[in-house]
A and B are shown apart, each in its own frame.
Chain A
Amino acid sequence: MSVDIEVYIALSAILFILGAMGVLVRRNAILVFMSVELMLNAANLALVAFSRLWGGAEGHLFVFFVMTVAAAEVAVGLALIVAIFRSKQSIDIDELHQMEG
């Protein structure tokens, strides 16, 4: 039994929107960050589904690159979060307001 392509794309769209809302609504830096990862993985799901539809390899290739880049981003992002936690004892992004104007 095979699942239609539309189902995959609908699922990926839902995941993407959930991720985007998470970034906008969540205040904890780590949760914001997880939401970004959710968005990237929604894109990965869409890429793999389309890749199967077209029978090409580009989508799979793209997914590998996205995963690699996401890993690099995690490394930098967590380092930033640790640095901020050390100086502020908090990772609430609403408390980041040194600069206004």
Chain B
Amino acid sequence: MFQVPTIADLNLGLTLPALSLALGACVLLLLDLFVPRERKEITAWLAMAGIAVSFVLNLAGFNESGTAFLGTFAADQFTGFLNIVILITAFLGVLLSLDYLKRAKIERGEYYVLLLLSAAGMMFMSSANDLIVVFIALELLSIPLYIMATFRAPDLKSEESGMKYFILGAFAGAFFVYGAALVYGATGTTNLPEIFAAVNGIIAAGGSQMFLLLMGTGLILVGLGFKVAVVPFHMWTPDVYEGAPTPVTAFMSVGAKAGGFAGLLRIMVVALPVFVLKDGQTAAAWQQTFWLVAAATLILGNIVAIAQTNVKRMLAYSSIAHAGYIMMAVAAAGTAGVANEATRAALLYLMAYMFTNLGAFGIALAIEKDDGSDTGVDNFIGLAKSKPALAAMMTVFMLSLTGIPLTGGFVGKWFVFKSALDAGLVPLAIIGVLTSVISAFYYVRIIVNMYLKDGEGDPAAGATRYVNWAIYVAFAGTLLMGIFPWIATNLSDTVVLAVEMFVR
């Protein structure tokens, strides 16, 4: 018989980090009404306070694991680690936005509310244990981002960016829902551990149920592939990243990827790890597809980035390439026994990518003019003379994106390549190393522009106090992860993604 759940059944304690952020966003929407128009930085500080509260709650409950909301919400170290990444991204996103919004004359309190809601969506995604929750989290993550990308309206570029993001995002969302519907049709449940329990029987039986399951998995991959921008679902990325206001680009380039990969890892590793079509096969059937997607993403992202002259566009293609490296770890997670190692590698990569990318976008934002122009690669010429500190930090960020030792990017790549090798994906690891070498070409070009070319040097008028703070935090994080990787690996070593933990 159907029983009405009590409050105790909901297990609210585990959901506190994500819930507090979502509630914080709602409260902020109300409080913003009382903040005078010319003092919107108060809203920003309140938003940062909300993020800090959620961060503390997340750390306090880091080692608690279990399910909430009747098995639809899972909290574990995977959630805890990703929440750290998401919350730092949101915090730095607010810091980067503070002065930028004022400069661009688009300062409105709703911006911070939307940012918090989107971050809450990412956090729900990292703990989703049910296809319905994955879908809601995906949309909660995306819809605020569509609005934020258009925040510079009536600027045409910003409107175009928002429109493209919206159409392709909604398109991808529809693919995800249809995929989820087919998986539900095959298994009779939307709960990830229950799907796991049903999959083996369906594969053994074959027939139309297996067809539905395969189609459903494929469509889910299309839907989430759009969100994380892997080839062939990457076309929207450069236009959206270029047109959106720079702090929004910084926030979504990290946050949307963290959320999308959280969903992919949850669905693929928790629900479908035993998706084996032939006996004697040790890897999940989807591994081959992920292998191909990762390889194509790495090659295309890194090669097209070379041709870019706008730094936001270049970082967009670079973010596609980095999605390829994370995809490599997801592919490795398809091999039995490597799943946890690969999951940890993906998480470490995301953390290193977060610091480095937010820092790089911070500096792009610093040299940008009030009207959003001057974000070319050539605008970096002579920066070492006019702003030596910024140039030095940009150098570290570029080296980290390439994956040079002593930076966070190297640590992330090292773990990803290692998990790929352990999973037996040697050709993929070789493609990864080769494309890293190619990527040095366009990252080092910026360093050459800053140090070796003669020029006036940009005054970097955008490097105001809060932007500098954000860049310092990103810089410190990049170096700390590179020099003392165990700070991050100690946290990630507790991450275990296994279905046993989440059975109702």
Contacts and interface: CB of A to CB of B under 8 A. Distances in A.
Contact of A65 (B136, B175, B184, B309): B136
Contact of A80 (B154, B156, B162, B242): B162
B188 A43 contact: no
Contacts of A97: 160
Contacts of B157: 98-99
Interface in B147-198: 147, 150, 153-154, 156-157, 159-164, 166-167, 170-171, 173-175, 177-178, 180-182, 184-185, 188-190
**Which of A62, A72, A86, A99 has the largest number of chain B CB atoms within 10 A?**
A99
Contacts, number: 130
B185 A46 contact: yes
A18 interface: no
A83 B154 contact: yes
B239 interface: yes
B160 A80 contact: no
Contacts of A58: 132, 184, 189-190
B182 A46 contact: yes
Given A56-B189, A73-B143, A43 B178 contact: yes
Contacts of A42: 178
Interface string A33-75: 1001001101100110111011010110110011001001100
Interface in B102-152: 131-132, 135-136, 139, 143, 146-147, 150
Nearest to B154: A87
B178 A16 contact: yes
A86 B147 CA distance: 16
B159 A66 contact: no
A26 B163 CA distance: 15
B174 A36 contact: yes
B189 A99 contact: no
B215 to A, nearest CB: 9
A84 B171 CA distance: 19
B184 A39 contact: no
Nearest to A68: B136
Given A36-B171, A83-B150, A77 B188 contact: no
B243 interface: yes
Contacts of A54: 184, 188
Interface in A82-101: 83-84, 86-88, 93, 96-99, 101
B143 A101 contact: no
Interface residues of A, number: 46
B362 interface: no
Given A50-B184, A58-B190, A77-B170, A66 B309 contact: no
B313 interface: yes
B141 to A, nearest CB: 12
Given A61-B132, A69-B135, A96-B164, A87 B153 contact: yes
Interface in A1-26: 9, 12, 16, 19-20, 23
A77 B309 contact: no
Contacts of A59: 181, 184
Nearest to B310: A101
Interface string B293-304: 000000000000
B163 A69 contact: no
B238 interface: yes
Contact of B238 (A33, A56, A99): A99
A33 B173 CA distance: 13
**Which of A19, A81, A96 has the largest number of chain B CB atoms within 10 A?**
A96
A50 B159 contact: no
A29 B174 contact: no
B130 to A, nearest CB: 9
A50 to B, nearest CB: 4
B308 interface: yes
A29 B153 CA distance: 17
A83 B309 CA distance: 29
Contacts of B178: 16, 39, 42-43, 46
Contacts of B174: 16, 19-20, 36, 39-40, 43
Given A76-B146, A77-B170, 10 more contacts: A12-B181, A29-B167, A36-B167, A43-B177, A43-B181, A46-B182, A69-B136, A73-B139, A99-B243, A101-B307
Interface of B: 131-132, 135-136, 139, 143, 146-147, 150, 153-154, 156-157, 159-164, 166-167, 170-171, 173-175, 177-178, 180-182, 184-185, 188-190, 238-239, 242-243, 307-310, 313
9 contacts: A19-B174, A29-B163, A36-B167, A46-B178, A56-B189, A84-B160, A93-B167, A96-B164, A99-B161
